[in-house]
């Protein structure tokens, strides 16, 4: 970046607010995808919305590009800066600004860590329901920009459901304050929802108003051994007939094997099973517990379940959750090729069967790890790199199977990215889930809010220089 612009950024942000050292560039230039080499020109760490606005205006005037950056726990390269961009990290905008007890809402800056938000809600006797394994480092701005999902979607929905208001600086450098924390607001287009899930391509989120909820009581976890894919959705249906589940996850025995081996955790029970389902419900009355036990009994009798365990304490519940939540971190060292697919819940059984067929044919030489938020129709299919195979060769081989998997997903009107976003990794596959007309509208919206395409260039949509 030219020294004059660096000087202007330095004047704006001060010593603490601008970094160019190699370690910062390495750290802030990548997310958890790790497949792209980071190469940002510098890192800006603003402390106010006014500074964010000034940075975006400077980028527009001088033609440099920006990558908005949260906790960088994404898995699609959405926060990667590999082309000399200026990273704009919201890490120093990390304050909870207000709590409104009657509204059961809070206002916070975008850089607040998800787990801090959850803990704050707890201190108020309330609950922030969006949760996932990376909650300890992901930031709320990133969660909103990617419409983060996680493990409680089946009951509470995605991040979108919790966002009552947003403060945004658009790619043009304009400040927008959207929806003002209102529950009801029927005054036309709800622009708030356009920014949720836009992956930092339309504007930078600087503040959010979030809905908090009643804290659930005595969350109880069941881990069940399942003989085959087809039984999974039968189990879901049987339990949902009696209970509002707060989670319905699944993982394969191989996934469990790695977690048990590498993290030193205990298996849930000794009976072998190829797959496991993890269910969670609010065990707030004797009837509720009875309903869960009855559903379990019915599933055993029908052959949908081989064995199972139900948590008897909060500690045991947490430990059972670790079996599922530690999978991603555990297999990360085996350089997985990650798929994040979804179909309608009613099509999951058919989808799993068809994916299994592709996997058996095309990934015969590789180890395949299955897990996912299957109660939401979301499958995480991870292929592990053989230790002896070169990384580039492995990814090339896996990518060659994409078309078959994505055509299948498309044929069921599913999504090629259920919750990890598009970023760089899925950008060129967008047409498997979005029509040409939709993509054309998306490009038009991008140009409307960010006419010079300064924000997160080439993420989600490729830059079409002829249109700039």
- Give me the residues that bind ligand MLT (CB under 6 A), please: 133, 327-328, 380
Cβ atoms of 68 and 79 closer than 8 Å:
yes
Measuring CA to CA, which residue among 130, 97, 141, 135 is closest to residue 114?
Answer: 135
- Phi, psi for 268 (deg, rounded to 5): -70, -30
Q: Report the length, in residues, of the chain.
A: 468
Q: How far is the CB of 463 from ligand MLT (least distance, A)?
A: 28
Name the residue nearer to ligand MLT (CB basis): 38 or 372. Answer: 372
DSSP state of 347: G
Q: How far is the CB of 133 from ligand MLT (least distance, A)?
A: 5
User: In Å, how far are 222, 308, 402, 437 from 291, measured between CA atoms?
Assistant: 13, 15, 42, 47
Name the residue nearer to ligand MLT (CB basis): 288 or 380. Answer: 380
Name the residue nearer to ligand MLT (CB basis): 195 or 321. Answer: 321
Q: How far is the CB of 386 from ligand MLT (least distance, A)?
A: 19
Name the residue nearer to ligand MLT (CB basis): 162 or 328. Answer: 328
Q: How far is the CB of 327 from ligand MLT (least distance, A)?
A: 6
Name the residue nearer to ligand MLT (CB basis): 327 or 425. Answer: 327
Name the residue nearer to ligand MLT (CB basis): 133 or 349. Answer: 133
Give all strands (DSSP E) within 156-258, no chain letters.
Answer: 163-170, 175-178, 203-211, 213-214, 219-226, 245-252
Q: How far is the CB of 271 from ligand MLT (least distance, A)?
A: 25
CA distance 461 to 424: 9
Q: How far is the CB of 177 from ligand MLT (least distance, A)?
A: 31
Name the residue nearer to ligand MLT (CB basis): 56 or 345. Answer: 345
Collapse the DSSP code of 127 into the 3-class scheme (helix H, G, I; strand E, B; otherwise coil) and give the result: strand
Measuring CA to CA, which residue among 250, 245, 242 is closest to residue 220?
Answer: 245
CA distance 198 to 223: 35
Measuring CA to CA, which residue among 465, 366, 365, 351 is closest to residue 418?
Answer: 351
Q: How far is the CB of 252 from ligand MLT (least distance, A)?
A: 13
The neighbour count for residue 171, using CB atoms within 10 Å, is: 26
Name the residue nearer to ligand MLT (CB basis): 252 or 328. Answer: 328
Cβ atoms of 420 and 197 closer than 8 Å:
no
Q: How far is the CB of 132 from ligand MLT (least distance, A)?
A: 6
Collapse the DSSP code of 395 into the 3-class scheme (helix H, G, I; strand E, B; otherwise coil) and give the result: helix
Q: How far is the CB of 32 from ligand MLT (least distance, A)?
A: 9
Kind and range of the H or E run holding 100: strand 96-100
CA distance 446 to 425: 19
Residue 191 class from Cβ within 10 Å (0-12 exposed, 13-18 middle, 19+ buried)?
middle
Name the residue nearer to ligand MLT (CB basis): 327 or 460. Answer: 327
């Amino acid at each position: 970046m030219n020294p004059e612009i660096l000087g202007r950024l330095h004047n704006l942000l001060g010593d603490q607010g601008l970094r160019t050292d190699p370690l910062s560039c390495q750290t802030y230039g990548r997310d958890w995808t790790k497949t792209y080499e980071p190469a940002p020109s510098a890192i800006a760490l603003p402390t106010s919305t006014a500074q964010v606005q000034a940075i975006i205006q400077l980028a527009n005037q001088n033609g440099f590009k920006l990558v908005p950056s949260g906790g960088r726990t994404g898995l699609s390269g959405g926060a990667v800066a590999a082309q000399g961009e200026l990273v704009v990290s919201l890490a120093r905008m990390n304050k909870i600004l207000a709590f409104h007890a009657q509204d059961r809402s809070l206002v916070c800056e975008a850089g607040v860590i998800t787990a801090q938000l959850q803990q704050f809600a707890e201190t108020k006797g309330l609950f922030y329901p969006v949760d996932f394994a990376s909650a300890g480092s992901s930031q709320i701005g990133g969660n909103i920009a990617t419409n983060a999902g996680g493990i409680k979607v089946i009951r509470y929905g995605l991040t979108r459901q919790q966002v009552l208001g947003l403060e945004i600086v658009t790619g043009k450098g304009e400040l927008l304050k959207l929806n003002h924390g209102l529950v009801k607001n029927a005054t036309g287009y709800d622009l708030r929802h356009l920014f949720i899930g836009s992956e930092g391509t339309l504007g930078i989120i600087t503040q959010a108003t979030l809905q908090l909820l009643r804290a659930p009581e005595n969350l109880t976890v069941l881990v069940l051994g399942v003989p085959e894919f087809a039984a999974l959705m039968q189990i879901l249906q049987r339990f949902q007939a009696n209970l509002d589940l707060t989670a319905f996850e699944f993982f394969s025995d191989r996934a469990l094997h790695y977690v048990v081996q590498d993290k030193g955790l205990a298996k849930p029970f000794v009976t072998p099973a190829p797959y496991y389902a993890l269910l969670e419900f609010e065990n707030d009355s004797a009837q509720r517990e009875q309903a869960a036990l009855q559903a379990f009994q019915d599933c055993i009798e029908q052959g949908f379940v081989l064995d199972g365990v139900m948590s008897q304490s909060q500690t045991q519940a947490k430990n059972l959750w670790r079996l599922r939540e530690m999978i991603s971190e555990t297999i990360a060292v085996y350089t997985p090729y990650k798929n994040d697919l979804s179909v309608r819940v009613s099509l999951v059984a058919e989808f799993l069967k068809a994916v299994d067929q592709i996997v058996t044919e095309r990934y015969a030489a590789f180890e395949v790890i299955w897990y996912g938020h299957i109660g939401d129709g979301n499958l995480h299919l991870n292929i592990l790199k053989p230790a002896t195979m070169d990384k580039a060769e492995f990814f090339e081989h896996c990518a060659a199977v994409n078309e078959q998997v994505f055509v299948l997903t498309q044929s069921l009107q599913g999504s090629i990215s259920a919750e990890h976003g598009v970023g760089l990794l899925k950008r060129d596959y967008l047409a498997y889930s979005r029509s040409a007309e939709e993509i054309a509208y998306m490009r038009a919206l991008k140009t409307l809010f960010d006419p010079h395409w300064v924000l997160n260039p080439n993420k989600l949509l490729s830059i079409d220089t002829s249109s700039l």
